[in-house]
Chains A and B, each alone.
Chain A
Amino acid sequence: MIKVLFFGPVADRVETREMQFEYTPGITLHDITAKIGMQHPGALSIVSFIAVNQNQVHDKQMALHDNDEIALMAKFSGG
């Protein structure tokens, strides 16, 4: 399984904090974000950062692995 986490404003838009997607060999980050974008078109527009296993990534074509944890995050506003 691939776990996708949502926080703050993004969680509000998707109305959940976590989704699970079945892992299939060759699945990419883009495949996952596209699925979420189809279900919640307004959510991805505020996503500024994506992390895989707590590391920021920029290449949406990256292949995912079983049990990866993805986070879709809006701009940070701590401090």
Chain B
Amino acid sequence: MNEPVRIQEADFSQDEEIAALKATSQRIGGIATFLGCARDFSEGRDVHEISFEAYGSMALAEMNKLRAAAIARFSLIDARIVHRVTTVGPGDNIVFIAAAAEHRAAAFDGCRWMIDELKQRVPIWKKEITPQGESWVTPHP
């Protein structure tokens, strides 16, 4: 079974990630997920591709810390974080976050917290390729 925290070029399967999560415990009563995918439009411009770059070793370490912190903070049963680092096109998957808990509130809260914190803490950068040229994305809150 895949590691619960990964950085990879290849696409991921949400079904496989959720199945892996469910296999960890029968006490799970709710799983909240976030799927980030590539848009074809940003800041008033068409986007043809998005290219990701990471400080891989640090990014993976930060994502593992994030997962551990979320499990502790929200009393999650388990959590998974997968981020692709490659070039993607509109509609392609980028990031998958899942939080499993006994009850829905913790799952929702933990899932949202992880994606919000990932954007703040994990050294990954995205570049949009548009008809007007390429530009690194300025982070959004």
Contact = CB atoms under 8 A, between A and B. Distances in A.
A and B are partners in one complex rather than unrelated chains: yes
A39 interface: no
B54 A78 contact: yes
Contacts of A8: 53, 125, 127, 136
Interface residues of B, number: 27
SS class of chain B's interface: helix, strand, loop or mixed?
A: mixed
A71 B58 CA distance: 10
Contacts, number: 67
B98 interface: no
Given A8-B125, A8-B127, A79 B58 contact: no
Contacts of A79: 36, 83, 94-95, 115, 118-119, 122, 124
Given A8-B127, A8-B136, A78 B55 contact: no
A76 B61 contact: no
B24 interface: no
A76 B58 contact: no
Interface of B: 36, 52-55, 57-59, 61, 83, 94-95, 115, 118-127, 136-139
Interface of A: 5, 7-9, 12, 49, 51, 54, 71, 73-79
